[in-house]
Structure 1
Amino acid sequence: MLNILWDFDGTLFDTYPAYTAIFREVMGDEKISEDEIFWQLKVSFSDAFEHFSLNDEQIKAIRKMARQLQPEDLTPFPGVEHVLKQADKNVIMTHKERDDVLSILKFHNLDGYFTDMVAGDDGYPRKPHTASYEFLHEKHKVDLAIGDREIDILPAKDLGIRTCLFQNNTPGADYYLSHYRDFNKIIK
């Protein structure tokens, strides 16, 4: 039996290239590298807003443009469907709005793999607060939490759930994955 709690952005879907392009467009500063924007976003949107000293108008523009991305603009990571098929239950905890997540999953024919979700507009405190993870864990007995950022695994660690960082080697996770094709090597 394997019940997995998934983060969405950067874990199920390769969304950061699109977000990086939006930041770059709004900032209009060609001197700032895409890599610097990408890695600040990988910490968190709030961290990137602060790091680049963005004003309220810029932040609103970025959030609006991010919400206007279409499902076809965002692609699932290669091999993620193979992992979804292996789980008994898959649940999502994301800061993204529920309608956006559902439309992206449906467009990519992945909606049938998920039993439950806590989304950004559900009223739970933001990660790394444990409330949303506690809710999903109590309801679905989560065995593993997969995320691409440290804030994705911290709530799971606090609750005694095994953790996996995807494309991130920050110390503290139980498992590390660079590609989903290697999932069977780490989970036995």
Structure 2
Amino acid sequence: MNVLWDFDCTLFDTYPALVSGFINLSKQNLDRDEVLRWLKIDSKTAFKHYGIDEKQRLGYQTLHNYYSKTESKPFEYLAEALSSVDHNIIVTHRDKESTIFLLKKYHLDKYFKEIVSVEEQGFTRKPHSSSYEYVLKSHHIDLVVGDRDLDLIPARELNIKTCAFQNRNIEADFHIDSYADFIAEVLNPLQQK
């Protein structure tokens, strides 16, 4: 069983860092909960809503990565979920260096066969399927896990089963709110099909 994972807010709870970086970038006194609601749609929509120029994206990613080093941690029971499958691959909008930093900080790097940084490696941002197609050239993928629709759209286009993490408002084959349920509610049923 091979699983492709999104990173931010799927493997690691990076929402506090995403919100802190966004508020700092905006230079406005914004409500953290409201910013979070917009970021959960996607950052492009949040930028538009708050009138932030898309040219500031690199600055946002730099701030997000800075806050991530202290404000982000893996979701509970993640190691058990990762160790239950054969190969794990990450496809993320985050830069590779900060992804590896967080994985090593929490001793999770050993679980991953490959990390694809979408923009660093020249792919179009998700939901475009080019980064997933790249992974499929090297690895068979049985499941994609993500927290937003843009993580799962490319999987559906490529006929790969999907699992939505902590988001029951998006279309997916499976929905879970905790990785404590990953084996029983996702992996076992998937292996029986």
**Higher deviation after alignment, 122-131 or 69-78:** 69-78
Distance in 2 between residues matched to 1:130 and 1:60, nearest whole Å: 22
Aligned equivalent of 1:163: 162
Aligned equivalent of 2:182: 183
CA, structure 1 residues 57+119, in 2 after alignment: closer, same or farther (shift >3 Å)? closer
Deviation at 1:15, TM superposition (A): 0.4
CA, structure 1 residues 115+49, in 2 after alignment: closer, same or farther (shift >3 Å)? same
* 1:3–1:143 CA contact under 8 A, matched in 2: yes
CA, structure 1 residues 18+3, in 2 after alignment: closer, same or farther (shift >3 Å)? same
CA, structure 1 residues 42+86, in 2 after alignment: closer, same or farther (shift >3 Å)? same
Distance in 2 between residues matched to 1:56 and 1:6, nearest whole Å: 26
Count of matched residue pairs: 186
Amino acid at match of 2:128: H
Distance in 1 between residues matched to 2:111 and 2:69, nearest whole Å: 17
Structure 2: 5+ residue runs without aligned partners? 189-193
Distance in 2 between residues matched to 1:88 and 1:56, nearest whole Å: 38
Aligned equivalent of 1:109: 107
Deviation at 1:61, TM superposition (A): 4.3
> SS of 1:118's equivalent?
strand
Aligned equivalent of 2:191: none
Distance in 1 between residues matched to 2:55 and 2:135, nearest whole Å: 35
* 1:3–1:144 CA contact under 8 A, matched in 2: yes
Aligned equivalent of 1:74: 72
TM-score by length of 2: 0.89
Aligned equivalent of 1:45: 43
Amino acid at match of 1:184: I
The C-alpha deviation readout for 1:14-63, integer Å capped at 9, x for no partner, is 00112112323343544x43221101111211111111111468655433
**Higher deviation after alignment, 59-68 or 153-162:** 59-68
Deviation at 1:109, TM superposition (A): 0.6
* 1:27–1:58 CA contact under 8 A, matched in 2: no
Question: Does 2:27 match 1:14?
Answer: no
Distance in 2 between residues matched to 1:161 and 1:58, nearest whole Å: 34
Distance in 1 between residues matched to 2:166 and 2:91, nearest whole Å: 18
Amino acid at match of 2:50: F
TM-score by length of 1: 0.91
Coordinate RMSD, CA, aligned: 1.8
**Higher deviation after alignment, 67-76 or 161-170:** 67-76
* 2:145–2:165 CA contact under 8 A, matched in 1: yes
* 1:72–1:107 CA contact under 8 A, matched in 2: no
Amino acid at match of 1:185: A
Structure 1: 5+ residue runs without aligned partners? none
1:22-171 paired onto structure 2 within 5 Å: 22-30=21-29, 32-55=30-53, 59=57, 61-69=59-67, 71-120=69-118, 121-171=120-170
Runs (4 or more) in structure 1 with deviation over 4 Å come to 56-61
Distance in 2 between residues matched to 1:70 and 1:172, nearest whole Å: 28
CA, structure 1 residues 95+70, in 2 after alignment: closer, same or farther (shift >3 Å)? closer
